[in-house]
Amino acid sequence: MRGHYLCVLLMLSGLALAEPIRLNTHDLPPYSRPTENGQAEGMAVRVVQCAAARLGETVRIQFYPWPRAQSLVREGVDDGFFAASQSAERDQYATLSASIAPQQWRWYLLAGSTLDPLSAEFHRSASVGSFRGGNMLDSLRSRGFRVAAVPTQNENLLEMLLAKRVDAILANHLVMNQLIEQKGLLGQLRSVLDQDKPLGVYFAKTFLQRRPAHFMADWNKAVEACRRKRGE
């Protein structure tokens, strides 16, 4: 009877390990985007899928608005979210992996603007914006900037800058540069580096407690191997 009980426990344990890792993301090209057939693609998605495959894991990737993608992990519904930069608030309930993709926070201004985003005067008086739910918005508020625009999409953020509803916007450089090129706006805007903020996967602490202690170290090694393979 005891042997049968142990067998059932082992079977249940095997089933638990076979469950896919539930990861949330959002529509943010070139990092992640849903395809027409419901799959996920993008530079961050490819690294996540590669790392999971190296560890013999499967991942289920779901797309949500960015605030919802994070709250589902904070509430214990899902296992993690990406691509995300480090923040003290996120650190309370999740652990950040090694970098899966680069990111620069850059200020974007109209080409004719004489404002200096790194000056004290800009900090005191400029009206700025960033997209809702992002680490950048929290950073702007904590640093005391005059935040006047918080749209849910980077495209709307760019439109607000072009309409002169704000003096400058803070955005992810790859995302915004792609939008600028797609809209034929090269030469109409300029950018200034704010800071480097690489992106990783935030795994819920409750998820990591259910996994072997070496899971995160193994995951990070797999991520680094995948990025080397891609020449990053």
Contact (Cβ atoms closer than 8 angstroms) between residue 227 and residue 109:
no
Tell me the per-residue pLDDT of 138-178, one tens digit each, with 9 for 90 and over: 999 999 999 999 999 999 999 999 999 999 999 999 999 99
Mean pLDDT of 74-91: 97
Mean pLDDT of 126-149: 95
Mean pLDDT of 116-128: 98
Share above pLDDT 70 across residues of the chain, in percent, rounded to a whole number: 92
For residues 37 and 83, state if they share a domain.
yes
Predicted local confidence at residue 18, as pLDDT: 62
Radius of gyration of the chain (CA): 20
For position 121, which CATH number holds?
3.40.190.10
Predicted local confidence at residue 230, as pLDDT: 75
The whole-chain average pLDDT of the chain stands at: 92
| Structural domains counted in the chain | 2
Instruction: Specify the pTM.
Output: 0.84
Check pLDDT > 60 for residue 58.
Answer: yes
Residue with tokens 């690489």: 198
Mean pLDDT of 109-134: 96
For residues 190 and 202, state if they share a domain.
no
| Token pair for 160 | 């607000």
Mean pLDDT of 79-108: 98
Give the full edge-to-edge strand order of the sheet including 127-129. Answer: 146-149, 127-129, 168-172, 104-110, 189-196
Tell me the per-residue pLDDT of 38-50, one tens digit each, with 9 for 90 and over: 899 999 999 999 9
For residues 203 and 94, state if they share a domain.
yes
For residues 113 and 158, state if they share a domain.
yes
Mean pLDDT of 3-12: 43
Mean pLDDT of 124-144: 94
Handedness of CA 24, 196, 105, 41 (dihedral sign): negative
Structural domain for 224, as ranges: 2-101+198-229
